[in-house]
Amino acid sequence: MTEASKVQNLNNLLGVNDHKFLLDAYNGSGGFKDGSYLVSHPRETAEKHNARKELAYYLNYVAPVVNSHVNPVFRKEPEREWKENALFSTFVEDADTLGTSFNRFMKRAGLVVKLHAVAFIVIDNVQEQPGNMADVIKQRALPYAYVVKPSQVTDYKTNKAGKLIELTYTVNSEGSASNQATETWTWTTNRWACQYANGEKKDGAHNLGRLPVVPFYARPYEPGNVLPQSEFFNIAKTNKRLYNLCSEIDELIRNQAFNILTYPADESQTPDDVKEITVGTENVMSYNGALSGKPEFIAPSAEPLQQLRDERKDLIVEIYRMAELSHVTGVETKNSGVAKQWDFENTNQVLSDFALNAEEAEREVAKVFELWTNTTVDYYCKYSDDFGIVDVAAALDEVGKALDLNIGGQFNVEAKKKAVAVYLNDLPEDRYDKVVDDIEARGQDETYNFNGAQVSSAVDVMAGVAEQRIAPDAAALMLQAFFGMDVDRANEMVKAQTSMIGKVPRQGPTVTDNAAA
């Protein structure tokens, strides 16, 4: 078997064509653009099939559902901390020598990962470095990263535990778009090798003691499953069927949307005579009134068209279900609130798993950087782990109902902070904190903003203290429980009121007297 045949067999094994199909489905390119993904009908002529290609349109659901698995994870920049390290700080600002920040680099890698199930982040280093740190930073002569897609991989090896220990892949060489060639790189735990486009081969040792390649997976997979099947492949296949279905619906509408005129002819008329009849709004049609029938329009049955439309609707629902997004707009609303909450939790878990994989990938990149530069980074990274999708209107309505209970005190403060978290979660952190601080500062004043009945009741409690009908400790507890006061404010009021004891005539036994009795 020739070397080319070996590569082709490996490409078939790794599903290279599958990855091209996924990319076409995401971008609406390839067969979705030129119509080659349209399947011809039995006995359909080439002329009619080409006409359908020209009219075909692609309703792209793959891109939105893939983006919905990536954008929430990278919506907020994760917490990143590292030991003071000028080299790594430069890397974070420009991870790929193209001016791409590490955060945007990871999001770009995340899109590849989610679409293709895995991507490989290669951390390479420049061959020649200046003699001092200032020139290293100025010339950016330090490690850089780039992403290798699964379709570029031609070979790999794992150890018994399933850990990746060798990777071979192709990348584009320098050259014009019309004369683009590729070069093949191989990395092992201690060496590298490259076959350049001109046939030249080079190899050497990097002595890192590990592979300078970080696999970044979309989901947790079994060790050793280096190139897993994309979770979006079946969604892309379904979208291809939807693409064909839309063409079939369009064809049916074009062929059957117009009514057909029937004309009763007598024995003296030939089919050619009927063809010469001109039908329009500006002329008159005459027919033999002696005949039992008269001209009329007939319409084809709408049932086949409705059946195709129902199938299209079902396919859209299934796409969202397979993407763990069955709760989104456009899908039939569930009657059960518990079922809807379960969908939210399921989506949240999928996003959380992806965020954890992104964290792990970043930490591994930092470890490789430490080995290349012989420096310490002590990298810490934390992505958000809560991606609950909130119905803002419903959440604010719940807060309003909670405040209508007029419980007051800290309850109202926390309810208002919840409203802020829902409605103003996109504010910059400093402005968000100011809003929360303002709520807490106003909380005490609003707590004691009683209505008339509450003021009267509080006065009665204070009068009871002065008249020795209510023990001071009991009054303080009542002010806290019934009026939402904090302990210090309640005690201050009771303490002030006890100065009135003896100055107000007693109207009945005190709580202390009853206890003593």
- pLDDT tens per residue, range 18-40: 999 999 999 999 999 999 999 99
**437: confidence class by pLDDT, cuts 50, 70, 90:** confident
Q: Quote the percentage of the chain above a pLDDT of 70.
A: 77
Note whether 227 and 369 are same-domain residues.
Answer: yes
Of 66, 73, 143, 138, the closest CA to residue 103 belongs to 73
Residue type, 154: T
Note whether 186 and 146 are same-domain residues.
Answer: yes
Q: What is the C-alpha to C-alpha distance for residues 444 and 409, in angstroms, rounded to an integer?
A: 7
Note whether 276 and 414 are same-domain residues.
Answer: no
Note whether 201 and 139 are same-domain residues.
Answer: yes
**Residue 176: pLDDT over 70:** no
Return the pLDDT at 281: 64
**506: confidence class by pLDDT, cuts 50, 70, 90:** low
**205: confidence class by pLDDT, cuts 50, 70, 90:** very high
Q: What is the C-alpha to C-alpha distance for residues 223 and 216, in angstroms, rounded to an integer?
A: 13
**11-25, 51-65, 380-394, 500-514, range with greatest mean pLDDT:** 51-65
Return the pLDDT at 511: 44
**Which tokens sit at 131?**
């003699």
Note whether 369 and 396 are same-domain residues.
Answer: no
What is the pLDDT averaged over residues 184-197? 94
Note whether 487 and 374 are same-domain residues.
Answer: no
Q: Is 26 part of any domain?
A: no
Tell me the Ramachandran region of residue 209: left when phi exceeds 0, alpha when psi lies from -120 to 50, beta otherwise.
Answer: left
Note whether 365 and 275 are same-domain residues.
Answer: no
Note whether 264 and 368 are same-domain residues.
Answer: no
Return the pLDDT at 4: 47
Residue type, 426: D
Higher pLDDT, 14 or 202: 202
Residue type, 70: V
**Residue 59: pLDDT over 80:** yes
Of 166, 169, 171, the closest CA to residue 211 belongs to 166
88 neighbors 82 (Cβ within 8 angstroms): yes
Return the pLDDT at 212: 97
Q: Which of 11-15, 37-41, 216-220 has the lowest mean pLDDT?
A: 11-15
Q: Quote the percentage of the chain above a pLDDT of 90.
A: 41
Q: Which of 99-113, 225-239, 448-462 has the lowest mean pLDDT?
A: 448-462
Note whether 223 and 370 are same-domain residues.
Answer: yes
**Residue 444: pLDDT over 90:** no
**Which tokens sit at 324?**
């763990």
Q: What is the DSSP letter of 98?
A: S
Note whether 100 and 203 are same-domain residues.
Answer: yes
Q: What is the C-alpha to C-alpha distance for residues 126 and 256, in angstroms, rounded to an integer?
A: 66
Q: Is 330 part of any domain?
A: no
**Which tokens sit at 366?**
């930092």
What is the pLDDT averaged over residues 63-80? 91
19 neighbors 151 (Cβ within 8 angstroms): yes
Q: Is 199 part of any domain?
A: yes
Return the pLDDT at 7: 47
Domain that holds residue 285: 260-298
**443: confidence class by pLDDT, cuts 50, 70, 90:** low
Note whether 435 and 487 are same-domain residues.
Answer: no
Residue with tokens 């004691």: 448
For the beta carbon of residue 69, count every other beta carbon within 10 angstroms: 24
359 neighbors 399 (Cβ within 8 angstroms): no
**Residue 293: pLDDT over 80:** no
Return the pLDDT at 54: 93
Q: Report the chain's mean pLDDT, rounded to a whole number.
A: 81
**517: confidence class by pLDDT, cuts 50, 70, 90:** very low
**74: confidence class by pLDDT, cuts 50, 70, 90:** very high
**Each residue's pLDDT tens digit, 318-377:** 988 888 775 454 444 444 554 555 556 777 888 889 999 999 999 999 999 999 999 999
Return the pLDDT at 256: 74
Return the pLDDT at 433: 82
Terminal Cα-to-Cα distance of the chain (whole angstroms): 107
Return the pLDDT at 332: 47
Q: Is 200 part of any domain?
A: yes
What is the pLDDT averaged over residues 245-253? 89
Residue with tokens 């206890």: 515
Of 382, 441, 442, 394, the closest CA to residue 418 belongs to 394
49 neighbors 55 (Cβ within 8 angstroms): no
Contacts 24+ apart (CB under 8 A), 288-297: 288/264, 291/264, 291/266, 292/264, 293/264, 294/264, 295/261, 295/262, 295/263, 295/264, 296/261, 296/262, 297/259, 297/260, 297/261, 297/262
Q: Is 180 part of any domain?
A: yes
**Each residue's pLDDT tens digit, 369-401:** 999 999 999 999 999 877 655 556 677 778 788
Note whether 442 and 510 are same-domain residues.
Answer: no
Q: Is 20 part of any domain?
A: no
Q: Is 189 part of any domain?
A: yes
Q: Of 424, 447, 470, which residue is a domain's last?
A: 447
Higher pLDDT, 430 or 24: 24
Per the structure, the count of domains in the chain is 4
Q: Is 76 part of any domain?
A: no
